[in-house]
């Protein structure tokens, strides 16, 4: 909840709050402290000055602030850890991934606003993705979990559902069950395809994410449906699966598309790293972007604005995604059997990597 107005009577600036439950951020603003100071003060850390502790406690009392799990502990002492777990599969332990890094940062910020801590759980190189999760649940290391980069049939979802442990997913796997999830809009690639069609492109190719992941399945479906909405047929020969989520996967996939007897005049990479790898492949061939071929990415990582040419891409609001994942998980902790889906629609950012279809290209 965000303060909506201020009462400045008698020089006393205080947030006027809406009727929803106050957050740690509201307490920090009223106390005149940082969110981190406020969290540490309310959780009894010894490195907080007594004056700061008193201000935080007074603000919390005035606002009626009680963290979700703190309220539960009053009824059942020892039932919560005030810790949120984030789980990755072994193939996604790539902290150089800019989108993943930005998402984790946003989640940490939101977690701290609610007085929680966040722990990252991932399997060792030789164990199944669900093993680290089972270990964490067995030792009660977290009150709920965020599942990232889901597999198409993700056993983590089945395990947590069967164990009645609160969790939220980023994306929608094929795995059945009642749980909370944050997903991309069904027409998430429509604006990208529409932009290319408006520029005259009809042979639109795609560099898809590696198979076996829920995000790969969904974006491929979105791409195919977007083409159909614009009276274009998806040409399977112009859709190449990358062998990684990284730039090298995009470069290799782009080389395959260039080997087609009639290459596409435009290509959509299903994340920015694949699109950036495609740009590297095109540059090595001496091809001009967008003069010879247009390229679009997905996510809008910071590098997309600084490479040459700057990358047209679908911006995912990563800060909002991080907030929503944490907020939905807290709601799941309050009601573990709940089933709810929040849909987030990306925004097309038009930059230098897209332009009109080359005049020499055929229209079929």
- 190-315 matches 5-65 in CATH topology: no
- What pLDDT band is residue 46 in, cutting at 50, 70 and 90? low
Averaged over 263-274, what is the pLDDT?
97
Does the pLDDT value for residue 11 go beyond 60? Answer: no
Q: In what order do the strands lie in the sheet with 167-170?
A: 117-121, 83-87, 144-147, 167-170, 180-184, 340-344
Of 141-145, 189-193, 310-314, the range with the lowest mean pLDDT is 141-145
Q: What pLDDT does 21 receive? A: 65
Please state, in angstroms and rounded to a whole number, the distance separating the CA atoms of residues 318 and 222.
20
Please provide the CATH number assigned to the domain covering 190-315: 3.40.50.2300
Q: Across residues 217-236, what is the average pLDDT?
A: 94
CATH class of residue range 5-65: mainly alpha
Phi/psi region, residue 203 (left: phi>0; alpha: psi -120 to 50; beta: rest), is beta
Q: Would the pLDDT of 9 be above 50?
A: no
pLDDT bucket at 15, cuts 50 / 70 / 90: very low
Q: Which of 69, 58, 65, 61 is nearest to 24 (CA)?
A: 65
HEC profile for 124-135?
A: CCCCCHHHHHHH
Q: Which pLDDT tens digit goes with each residue over 323-353?
A: 999 999 998 988 877 788 999 999 999 999 9
146 close to 134: Cβ distance less than 8 angstroms: no
Half-sphere exposure at residue 241, Cβ-oriented, CA atoms within 13 angstroms: 9
Residue spans of the domains in the chain: they are 5-65, 83-185+317-345, 190-315
Residue 251 phi, psi dihedral angles, 5° rounding: -65, -45
Residue 359 has pLDDT above 90, yes or no: no
Query: Which superfamily is assigned to 83-185+317-345 in CATH?
Result: Response regulator (3.40.50.2300)
Q: pLDDT for 294-327, tens place per residue?
A: 999 999 999 999 999 999 999 999 999 999 999 9
Let me know: does 280 contact 251? Beta carbons within 8 Å. Answer: yes
Contact 208, 216 (CB under 8 A): yes
What is the pTM assigned to this prediction? Answer: 0.78
Q: Residue 89 has what pLDDT?
A: 73
Looking only at the bridges linking them, the beta strands covering 312-315 and 347-349 are antiparallel
With 60 as the cut, is the pLDDT of residue 95 above it? yes
């Amino acid at each position: 909840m965000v303060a909506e107005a201020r009462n400045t009577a008698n020089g006393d600036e205080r947030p006027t709050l809406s009727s929803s439950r106050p957050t740690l951020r509201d307490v920090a603003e009223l106390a005149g402290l940082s969110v981190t100071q406020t969290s540490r003060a309310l959780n009894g850390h010894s490195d907080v000055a007594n004056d700061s502790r008193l201000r935080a406690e007074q603000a919390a009392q005035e606002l009626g602030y009680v963290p979700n799990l703190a309220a539960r502990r009053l009824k059942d002492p020892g039932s919560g850890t005030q810790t949120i777990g984030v789980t990755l599969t072994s193939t996604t332990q790539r902290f150089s991934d800019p989108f993943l890094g930005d998402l984790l940062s946003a989640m940490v910020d939101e977690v701290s606003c609610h007085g929680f801590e966040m722990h990252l759980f991932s399997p060792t190189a030789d164990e199944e993705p669900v093993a680290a999760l089972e270990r964490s649940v067995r030792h009660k290391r977290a009150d709920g979990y965020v599942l990232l980069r889901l597999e198409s049939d993700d056993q983590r979802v089945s395990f947590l559902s069967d164990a009645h442990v609160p969790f939220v997913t980023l994306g929608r796997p094929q795995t059945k069950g009642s749980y909370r999830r944050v997903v991309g809009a069904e027409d998430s690639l429509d604006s990208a395809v529409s932009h290319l069609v408006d520029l005259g492109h009809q042979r639109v190719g795609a560099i898809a994410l590696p198979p076996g992941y829920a995000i790969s399945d969904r974006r491929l479906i979105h791409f195919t449906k977007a083409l159909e909405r614009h009276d274009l047929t998806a040409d399977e020969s112009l859709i190449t699966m990358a062998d990684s989520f990284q730039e090298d996967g995009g470069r290799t996939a782009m080389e395959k598309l260039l080997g087609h007897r009639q290459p596409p005049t435009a290509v959509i990479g299903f994340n920015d790293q694949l699109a950036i790898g495609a740009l590297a492949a095109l540059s090595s061939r001496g091809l001009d972007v967008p003069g010879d071929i247009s390229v679009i990415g997905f996510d809008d990582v910071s590098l997309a604005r600084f490479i040459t040419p700057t990358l047209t891409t679908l911006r995912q609001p990563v800060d909002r995604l991080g907030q929503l994942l944490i907020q939905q998980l807290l709601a799941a902790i309050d009601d573990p059997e709940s089933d709810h889906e929040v849909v987030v629609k990306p925004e097309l950012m038009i930059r230098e990597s897209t332009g009109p279809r080359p005049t020499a290209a055929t229209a079929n």
